[in-house]
Amino acid sequence: MTRTEIALVGEIGHSTGLLRRHGLLSIFCRIDDKQVPLYRVLWIAATPHFCGDAECQCEGMHEVALEGGESVWANFEERDRLMQMIEDWQNGPDL
Ligand SMILES: [Zn+2]
């Protein structure tokens, strides 16, 4: 972003067009090749999945439960980004 754009973001506050375009306030977080809307996330596992099953594809991943009984699996990086995005989303763009 240029200095002008950063200043503009400060000015427009809650007007989210520019913020969204720069990815600062996207409502979607990409997890495991899916764009998940933040408001559909119910909870995020605090510890990585481990079940000992040799066939398991989710070993070491964090389960992210979504509304509707679905869940997706996030690696460490995706989980951290998701949690940060939800915090930013709850706090709003002014903080
Ligand atoms: Zn498993």
Pairing state between β 62-66 and 41-44: antiparallel
Look at residue 21 and tell me if it is in a domain: no
Q: Is residue 60 part of a domain?
A: yes
Quick one: pLDDT at residue 13?
A: 46
31 in a domain, yes or no? yes
Instruction: Give me the amino acid identity at 84.
Output: Q
Give distance in angstroms: CA of 57 to centre of ligand 1.
Answer: 7
| Closest by CA position to 78, among listed 25, 24, 20, 30 | 30
Residue 42 within any structural domain of the chain: yes
Q: Side by side, which strands form the sheet with 71-74?
A: 41-44, 62-66, 71-74
Q: Is residue 4 part of a domain?
A: no
The domain of 40 spans 27-91
Ligand 1 centroid to Cα of residue 5, in Å, is 45
Report the separation in Å between the CA atom of 55 and the middle of ligand 1, taken as the mean of its atom positions: 8
- pLDDT, position 4: 57
pLDDT by 10s per residue, the chain, length 95: 666 555 555 554 444 555 555 555 688 999 999 999 999 999 999 999 999 999 999 999 999 999 999 999 999 999 999 999 999 888 876 65
Any domain includes 10: no
What pLDDT is stored for residue 92 in this prediction?
74
- The count of domains in the chain is 1
Distances from the Cα of 92 to the Cα of 16, 25, 45, 87, 88, angstroms: 10, 9, 24, 9, 6
Report CA(25)–ligand 1 centroid distance (Å): 33
> Does any domain span residue 6?
no
2 lies in some domain: no
